[in-house]
Amino acid sequence: MTAQHPRRIADRYELKALPMPGGMGLVWEGYDTVLDRPVAIKQIRAEKTHTAAQRAELISRFRREAKVTAKIEHPGVPAVYDAAIDKPADSPGAVAELYLVMQLVRGQDLRDILAEHGALPVDWAVSVAAQICSVLSYAHAVPVVHRDLKPSNIMIDAEGRVKVLDFGVAAVLGTDVTQITETGRMVGTREYMAPEQFLGVGVSPRSDLYALGCVLHEMVAGEKVFDGNSDPALQHVHDEPVPLRALRPEVPAGLEQLVLDLLAKAPEDRPDAAQDVYERLVPYLPASGGADAPVPAGVADPTRPYRTPLAPKAKPGSAAGPLAPHPPTVLDWSAAPPPAPATVSTPAFAAPHVSGEEIQEAEEHAVRLFEEERYSQAAGVLEEILDQARPDDPRLVETRRVHAAVLLAGGDYRRALSALRLLASVVSGVEGPESEDMREYRQQIALCHAVLGEHEQALDAYRALLPGAGHEETLALQQKIADLLLALHRVREAAEVLRGLLHHLDPVSPEAQRVRELLTRIELTGGTGH
């Protein structure tokens, strides 16, 4: 590739400059030949896909997660423009490559700032953390969990605005939890991961808050939460962090307590949401119109968005002047392949203001959109019908069934939870609370709670399904229960469930292998928990 003949992907994007290495791929500065604008292009690494089936799964997950992440509408998240799949025309046997095309952002990443300057002024650290909270509040509402929040994924642009990069890339590659190698060593970003990630169970918004606590501690103290003299991952599970005021006495007591709360071992002991963290940071933010803080050479001032809200762009040569270019990135997401919508059938009765023909037409249209992975449009079509019916109308059960499936497919778990609860209440009155359909809806309700980080509710929901479950269903439920207990840091209880489960599984099955791996993780932690 030369400057005269740059490589082009997807017959649209030119790769202009040499790529910069990223945590999970290569980042290029590119050019969109259709819209005449510079872009950032991240090539997703796919070394672990050795078969056609693995490749197809990666591409499917890539498309699904890109759609979900594109729903994060916040200036602190570089906009996702395209999810391109490119197969070089001049290489017939080549495997298609995956690229995320996004807004080009220039700035300096927090990792480099900390490496050069060490501890930051307290109002700087708080300003960065508050901006991250704002981003997370929008992402978690989708819901999208970052899974890999760390200084190298946090950028400060020339105006002092924080950008959170690489949302969803961990989920696409299946690296959102650590893995144990054959030697028993852990791989992953150990310095910033929550204990539940080390244990290899589901992450939640509170996992991002733990990582934020690690980042905030490092910004204020000038050093990581744990020094790395032993395995940092084990330290995150076992050890209590050193309070900030022991390292820096001038730190406000309330800020020290917030960091300790963010670093709680059990997710349920951390703040409820990013919004709550933001509110606790507000007292330490610089006042609007306040004086400029001393600015380290070459670093933009992250307090500027608070001191001068909605200020015009800084003049050239000012303190918040241009920084050296830095490769961008983006994205996060949720996971688990969604269930397909049920087969469409015409309800026996029409809703009061909608004809049976209109209902059938809407359902068929929604399923066509579903098959094209146009989930938001499919949900909208069904909602036009459902809005005209009573919430408890039993004559639109099939419409509600398809609607819930569409929301699950689109990763809209909060709305799916509401839709499933309403559907379950209607079906329970018609079929009874123990029908096969009801068990399916209760399973999906539990899944929504788990994905949304509502672990206690999910645990209660799965346990309530054990009575009446067959052998295979019981084994699956016990696995989910163990995962939730681990996520809640109730490690001893989880170990008991897993050991009992192992006796009933085929020793050579993938399920048994996963249980043994989880027990290995628990042994590495010393089996601690409440």
Is 1 a domain residue? no
Domain boundary among 280, 307, 334: 307
Domain boundary among 102, 134, 154: 102
Same domain, 303 and 201: yes
Rounded to whole angstroms, the Cα distance separating 324 from 108 reads 7
Q: What is the CATH number of the domain that holds 150?
A: 1.10.510.10
Residue 4: per-residue pLDDT: 59
Is 327 a domain residue? no
Residue 29: per-residue pLDDT: 87
Cα(first)–Cα(last) distance of the chain, in Å?
58
Rounded to whole angstroms, the Cα distance separating 470 from 468 reads 7
Residue 352: per-residue pLDDT: 53
432: left (phi over 0), alpha (psi -120 to 50) or beta: left
Task: Report residue 44: phi and psi, to 5°.
Answer: -85, 125
Query: Would you name the residues annotated as active-site residues?
Result: 148
Residue 94: per-residue pLDDT: 59
Residue 279: per-residue pLDDT: 94
Same domain, 98 and 111: no
Token couple for 21: 């290495």
Q: Which helix (H) or strand (E) holds 180?
A: strand 179-180
Amino acid at 483: D
Q: What is the CATH number of the domain that holds 472?
A: 1.25.40.10
Rounded to whole angstroms, the Cα distance separating 438 from 434 reads 6
Token couple for 365: 């249209």
pTM of this prediction exceeds 0.85: no
DSSP SS3 for 97: strand
Same domain, 374 and 397: yes
Same domain, 365 and 481: yes
Q: Are 143 and 57 in contact (CB under 8 A)?
A: no
Residues of the chain with pLDDT under 50: 1-2, 175-188, 319-351, 528-530
Encode burial over 349-376: b for 16+ CB neighbours within 10 A, e otherwise: ebbeebeeeebbebbeebbebbeeebbe
Q: Name the H helices within 141-194.
A: 169-173
pLDDT tens for 54-65 read 777 777 777 777
pLDDT tens for 324-378 read 333 333 323 233 344 444 444 444 444 456 677 888 888 899 999 888 888 888 9
Task: Show Cβ contacts of residue 362 under 8 Å, excluding neighbours closer than 6 positions.
Answer: 381, 382, 384, 385, 399
Rounded to whole angstroms, the Cα distance separating 502 from 499 reads 5
Is 204 a domain residue? yes
Rounded to whole angstroms, the Cα distance separating 48 from 54 reads 8
Residue 28: per-residue pLDDT: 84
Is 177 a domain residue? yes
Domain range for 112 is 107-307
**Count of domains in the chain?**
3
Q: What is the CATH number of the domain that holds 41?
A: 3.30.200.20
Same domain, 360 and 460: yes
Is 339 a domain residue? no
Q: Are 68 and 142 in contact (CB under 8 A)?
A: yes
